[in-house]
Amino acid sequence: MELEARLEKPSILPNRLQNNNLLLKLKTPPAVHLPQRQPLVIGLAIDKSWSMKGEKMEATIEAACSMVNWLTRNDFIAIIAYSADIQIVQPLIQLKEKTAVIDKIRSIQVGTSTNLSGGWLQALRGVESAGVPNAYKRVILLTDGQATLGIKDPVQFNQIAADHSGRGVSTTAIGFGEDFNETSLKDIAMYGKGNFYYVSSPEETSEIFFREFGDIGALYSQATDVTINFSPGVKMAEIYNDFTFISNSDNSVTIQAGDIRADDSRNLVLSLDIDSNQLTNASDIASVSVSYYNLFEKMRLEKVEKMIPLIKTDLEPPLDKEVVIERLIASSAKTIMKVARLIKENDITLARSILQTSIDKVEENLKLSNEILIPILQRLRNIEVKIRDNSPSANMTKQFLSESTDLYSKTDIIDTSGIEMHDRIYEHKVIGDIDLYKCPDLKNAVQSQIKEGYRFIVFDLSDCKFIDSSAIGAFIQIVGWLRKRGGEFIVTNITDSVKKVFLVTRLENHIRVAGSSEEAKDIIESIIASAKR
pLDDT (0 to 100) of residue 483: 83
Tell me the C-alpha to C-alpha distance, in Å, between residue 13 and each of 279, 295, 309.
11, 43, 14
pLDDT (0 to 100) of residue 417: 59
How far is Cα 230 from Cα 279, in angstroms, rounded to an integer?
11
pTM listed for this prediction = 0.75
How far is Cα 444 from Cα 26, in angstroms, rounded to an integer?
19
Tell me the C-alpha to C-alpha distance, in Å, between residue 282 and each of 245, 272, 304, 309.
29, 20, 23, 9
How far is Cα 491 from Cα 508, in angstroms, rounded to an integer?
10
pLDDT (0 to 100) of residue 21: 95
How far is Cα 6 from Cα 351, in angstroms, rounded to an integer?
31
DSSP 312: B
pLDDT (0 to 100) of residue 150: 85
How far is Cα 328 from Cα 325, in angstroms, rounded to an integer?
5
Q: Quote the distance between the C-alpha of residue 388 and its chain's center.
A: 29
Q: What backbone torsions phi and psi does residue 265 show, to the nearest 5 degrees?
A: -140, 155
How far is Cα 260 from Cα 494, in angstroms, rounded to an integer?
31
CB 140 within 8 A of CB 125: no
pLDDT (0 to 100) of residue 37: 67
How far is Cα 280 from Cα 309, in angstroms, rounded to an integer?
11
Which residues have CB under 8 Å from 274's CB, separation 6+?
12, 17, 18, 19, 20, 233, 234, 285
How far is Cα 228 from Cα 271, in angstroms, rounded to an integer?
13
Per-residue confidence in pLDDT tens, the chain, 533 aa:
999 999 999 888 888 899 999 999 998 887 655 556 678 899 999 989 888 888 888 888 888 888 887 787 888 999 999 998 899 999 999 988 888 999 999 999 888 888 899 999 999 999 999 888 878 899 999 988 788 888 888 899 999 999 998 888 999 998 887 778 888 888 999 899 888 888 877 777 777 887 787 677 667 888 899 999 999 989 999 999 888 899 988 899 999 888 887 777 889 999 999 998 888 766 789 999 999 988 878 788 999 999 998 888 888 888 999 899 999 999 999 999 999 889 888 889 999 999 999 999 999 999 888 777 888 898 899 899 988 887 777 678 888 888 887 777 655 555 565 678 899 999 999 999 887 667 778 888 898 898 888 999 999 999 999 887 678 778 877 887 888 788 999 999 999 888 888 877 777 777 899 999 999 999 999 988 887 76
Q: What backbone torsions phi and psi does residue 34 show, to the nearest 5 degrees?
A: -85, 135
Cα dihedral value 232, 242, 165, 272, nearest 10: -10
How far is Cα 283 from Cα 309, in angstroms, rounded to an integer?
7
Count CA atoms within 13 Å of residue 364 on its CB side: 8
How far is Cα 75 from Cα 91, in angstroms, rounded to an integer?
14
